[in-house]
Chain A
Amino acid sequence: MSTFADRFKVREPRSFMKDSERKKIHDSALDVLESTGIRVMSSVARDSLKRAGAIVDDKTNVVKYSPDLVNSLMSKVPSSIVLAGRTKDYDLPLDRRHHYYTTDGCGIAVWDPKTKSRRQSVLEDIRKTAVLGDALPYLSIYEPMVVAHDISSKTHVLEGLKVGMENTTKHIETESTTTPEEARAQVKMAAAVVGSEEELRKRHYMSAMVCTISPLVLDGGATDAAMVWAENHVPVHITGMASMGLSGPATVAGSLVVNHAETLALACAMQAHEPGAPFLYGSVQSSMDPKTGAYNAGAPETIMLSIGNVEMAKYLDVPCSAGGMGGSARTPGLRQSIENSVLSPPLAAVGCEIMNGIGLADGSTLLSFAQMVVDNEIVALVLNSNRDIEVNDESVSLDLIKTVGIGRNYLSEMHTVKHVKDFYMSTLWDMSTYESWAESGKRDLMDVAEEKAQKMLSEHQPEKLDGARLSALKKVIDEF
């Protein structure tokens, strides 16, 4: 019987870089960490690194790592983990043979297709995206997608997480955690859902994104939080964002080195603090817009960088969530869909295990429910075109070819009846005629997607959390 995870199975990854090229990037990053070092703004991380043997300058907070130290600490990283759902049906093994998708985060506005304008996001938008995310068949992981501007800044991350946990059974990824206290509260919440903190260490129901600050800085609050994640074995997506030409060199290889150094630096800090803490190589690099310096998520260079990130994760033999869809179109629609369609296929082929980015436009800031549905369709196309090509007696069907022979057809063969069920059928568009399209109102694809999103939102009933666990989540927030 096939599982939810089977939906995301893809063929064996290909290599896009030579071993010698990956080694050169890795060795260069080791050189940077040994000679230049990295500024670590978290005293907890610095203390752990110092105990492990790193050289810490207490005046500048710059930490230098020897190659031996990096190799020793990295040897403790689990190479394969399972991201757990709220129920086991939604467990996601990270075994280099799956290609999963998360929602994007963390936007600040919501697109109104009627007025063609933006409005500020609120908590109800998080609930809706969790419900829709739960319903979308090709979304693997839910991340609260927007900031709840109607909730105080003190608790908005926790409230968003609660709404997410409440409305989807899929794995939860949290973002925007800026203090260790906020991390501890979220650990309590995830523990309440899975049963206990001890159980959470085994069942990774929640993972956390932690960004580095390029070039070569680990933020204080977010890195303190990363140490809390490590203590509780919450997998951390280490998300470097070095931007070519701005916060990284203006070449793909150079920016890969900066990103790799930052990733190793935080991964090693976690291992020094809590040996065996799981992490994912989770970069989201881009080139800058040469005119403004802005993040340019839909650029071809972004794909090159993401491919390089995945290659470096494979080099380290660690789970990988590098790259994603989520282009830079200012509004949802054609350009966003083109960019997302171009961003995904090479990353499915190279072996990216988790792709970020369903549903937000404008550099991950603008939520669109219709775009969530369109992106789900793009993912479906990518996955269903990256399956293994089965070659066996049944699939080769030599006898059948001989039997049908010359000039007849395969339509009424039982072999066809059996296998036609495997053909991918779009859930968003059909193959009806021009006349049928004209008669049904000549609707644009985004209109169709919006209607589908609203229908799913009104009809889908996620499996709710029981009252006891819900009360436990509420208690954590009330006491925060």
Chain B
Amino acid sequence: MSANPAKPTDFACRPFHYPALEADGAYFESLGESVIAASFDENIESECKQAANLGLADLSPLPRTGFKGKQAINWLSDTGLSIGEENNYSWLQTDQTLIARLADTEALVLSDLNARSDLCRRLEKQNAEQMPEQCYHVPRQDSSAWFIVTGKHADIMFAKLCAVDMRLSRFKSGSIAQTSMARMNAIAIRHDLGEIPAFHILFDSASADYLWRMLKDAMSEFSGKPVGYNAICHLAQ
């Protein structure tokens, strides 16, 4: 049971598919101005074990943002962020936020898993104030849902949904695939939680319920299950 239980409907900002999470037995906790599915099991150790095997968690309430335009990468770099030259690759920043370079003209910013960094909010504010030319905010917080799939079976599970070769030996940590997953556009970013393989999945927020079902179905072959945010944070430490 959660230490700080909260109800999604007590907040204006609600996880995209919270009724499905509730149906799966999620316990919610408040996180910033929203709530997050903190656990599905009373025992965090068993959830961590589950995540190490094959777990699926909803991270949609965590901050994220995006910027696009010809000057987007330059502008982000000028703010002090570390972004390499390679498209479809991601870089972890000192505050543990993740910058995913999707193209020469677009980047995605994912909050650290503990949501301690205020980078997303800061960048959005700065962009709105400065209105830099050819650098436009993309409302990723609401346009894209954010799941994380973890565990040793994650890569072979993805083979049931996605045509990209995501084998751990080929799809190294940091890699990005912008692809079709269960017939939906999705961005997959591999960033392991310590020793545990982990893939962040960003996709159409209106399809959160659908992809949650498709992932659970694909995972069942490998005994995969939903896990809570707390287990993900625990593994990330």
Partners in one complex: no
